[in-house]
Amino acid sequence: MGLLDPPSTEDAIAILDDLARWRLKQWGFVVIRGTYSSQPKWDKFIRLAQEDARDYFEQRRMLDLYDKMAWTVIEDGAALDGASLEVAQNKFFEWLDGNEGKKDMEGSVFAEEGVVYRGPRYRFFLFVDDESLESVVDEVKAREPGGYVVKVVAEGPTEGKWQEGEEGEEGEEE
């Protein structure tokens, strides 16, 4: 791609296709806050994530798709401050199986009886712990090789349980 070539819209178009195919009104990840050491840093983290996403879609002239992106953040300082992935996973399942998760899926194929597969929004979540937070909001760390650290956690393949897998398998922390 040359310097003046427009950015690729391939990923964005795939999201649009998924929205139509699965009859979704919104898309995006659920974010679980696992650190409560600094509200200003947390606010900066969320602001930077939203700005980065907006810039991505603005460059592709697809802001309508950004507007359909849901920023669902699960916060519970008493239960999640310094929490393990297992505790965060349980919180995600509570959201997914509770009224908010069910309302979020309303009208989509994932709300239909007997549907086993669920799209990425209902199978993955982002877990932001101290390491993740600092890697984004600390300007020195953000420039280090390897860039940002955010943990994407995936549902394991057995009976709705979460599993930590070996490299490359579902359930792996990335």
Q: Give the bridge partners for 23, in sequence order.
A: none
Cβ neighbours around 113 below 10 Å, total: 4
Query: What's residue 6's pLDDT?
Result: 59
Contact 32, 125 (CB under 8 A): yes
Mean pLDDT of 5-23: 85
Residues 70-128 pLDDT 10s = 999 999 999 999 999 999 999 999 999 999 999 999 999 999 888 877 888 999 999 99
Confidence tier at 159 by pLDDT (50, 70, 90): very low
Those residues with Cβ within 8 angstroms of residue 115's Cβ, 6 or more apart along the chain or in another chain: 109
Res 172 pLDDT > 60: no
CA–CA gap between residue 117 and residue 122 (Å, rounded): 9
Q: How confident is the model at residue 156 (pLDDT cuts 50, 70, 90)?
A: low
Please give the Cα distance from 73 to 30 (Å, whole number). 6
Task: Using alpha carbons, list the distances in angstroms from residue 167 to 34, 86, 155, 158, 170.
Answer: 23, 18, 15, 18, 9
Q: What's the 3-state SS for 5-21? A: CCCCCHHHHHHHHHHHH
Residue with tokens 């959201």: 95
